[in-house]
Homo-oligomer: A and B are copies of this chain.
Amino acid sequence: MARNGIKVGIVGGTGYTGVELLRLLAQHPHCELRAITSRKEAGLAVAEMFPNLRGRVSLKFSDPAAADLAACNLVFFATPNGVAMEQARALVDAGVRIIDIAADFRIRDVALWEKWYGVKHACPELVAEAVYGLPEMHREKIREARLVANPGCYPTAVQLGFLPLLEAGIVDVDHLIADAKSGVSGAGRKAEVHTLLAEASDNFKAYGVPGHRHQPEITQGLDRIAGRPVRLVFVPHLTPMIRGIHATLYARLTAEADLQVLYEKRYGAEAFVDVLPAGSHPDTRSVRGANYCRIAVHRPHGGDIVVVLSVIDNLVKGASGQAVQNMNIMFGFPETTALEQLALLP
């Protein structure tokens, strides 16, 4: 890590978004990693918990109280939901910019957020200021943002998939369907029975059909793009793999358009959204470990339903990679810095 870059701190960091952030930042030429905090693991070398970092990340977890985060230029929150909102105010006031990889600042309607997350929001005034960190939609605002709300994994895949259709205004927005499949790392590094290998391997199931926290986040984004309220049925599924999200999106066309051209044009200038040739089927491993979203658009049998296939790595473009992308934008680094690694295939 370079000497004369920015000073970076990470709050949390014992979860998957934390280790993924470390993997990416360890190779960033303009970042100096100052501190990574964990109350529970204070004193432990990060590389002892995550041996892939051995020899490359010498930092130890530090106690949040002892870490001088106010001296950083940027602090990432790689914490469970509900932590960033407690600490953001003080950091922002100290001139520190923030990227929250959790959900505290994603939903502008505070009451709606409180309903889904089950707690009172500690810092509603910053919600209004926070910029939603989807660069393909809000790049200019991200550039100046003090506080970036990094999007969720499902929301990234689904919004990027629907975006050109909604911007073009050519689908029935009252009947959008997102059938999404996620690898198990999306559930985080928490000890839970249903994500044990012996439970989740060689198995497939839907969950949260009656309601999922990512739905209001997705709907808010789609509303904004469409310029009017949309209605979305969102069905997430758990897939027996470690990383990857595959969103299969369905919408009814209300006007004709060359869908392939529409998508290629919309994303032609984007470094991290790759529209595949007509007739393609992206596989999640084509983005494993990489910051890409790969998209294919289909219109089966020439009917009036368009099918969009959108894949990301939930921990990269769906979390820590997108956070680094946002950092690059915020601090004027080339947007692809430290995100140039190719997906691991096979």
Contacts and interface: CB of A to CB of B under 8 A. Distances in A.
A221 interface: no
Interface residues of A, number: 87
Nearest to A306: B233
Nearest to A23: B342
Contacts of A246: 204-206, 237
A53 B294 CA distance: 12
Contacts of A210: 279, 298, 300-301
Contacts of A282: 51, 205
Contact of A27 (B52, B205, B340): B340
Contacts of A234: 300
A246 to B, nearest CB: 5
Interface of A: 16, 19, 23, 26-27, 50-56, 175, 177, 179, 181, 183-185, 187, 189-193, 195-207, 209-211, 231, 233-235, 237, 239-244, 246, 248, 250, 252, 274, 276, 279, 281-290, 294, 298, 300-301, 303-305, 307, 309, 311, 315, 340-346
B16 A346 contact: yes
B191 A192 contact: yes
A197, A200, A209, A243 interface centre (most CB from chain B within 10 Å): A197
A145 to B, nearest CB: 28
Contacts of A284: 203-205
A274 to B, nearest CB: 6
Contacts of A206: 246, 248, 281, 309
A266 B143 CA distance: 50
Contact of A196 (B191, B281, B287): B191
A233 B16 CA distance: 35
A51 B305 CA distance: 27
Contacts of A346: 16, 19, 185, 189, 198-199, 242-243, 315
B197 A52 contact: no
A288 B199 contact: no
A27, A203, A315 interface centre (most CB from chain B within 10 Å): A203
Contact of A26 (B285, B307, B342): B342
Contacts of A342: 23, 26-27, 52-53, 56
A239 B248 CA distance: 14
B177 A211 contact: no
The 10 residue pairs across chains A and B that have the minimum distance between CB atoms? A52-B343, A205-B283, A191-B191, A51-B286, A203-B285, A185-B198, A52-B345, A184-B197, A179-B179, A197-B197
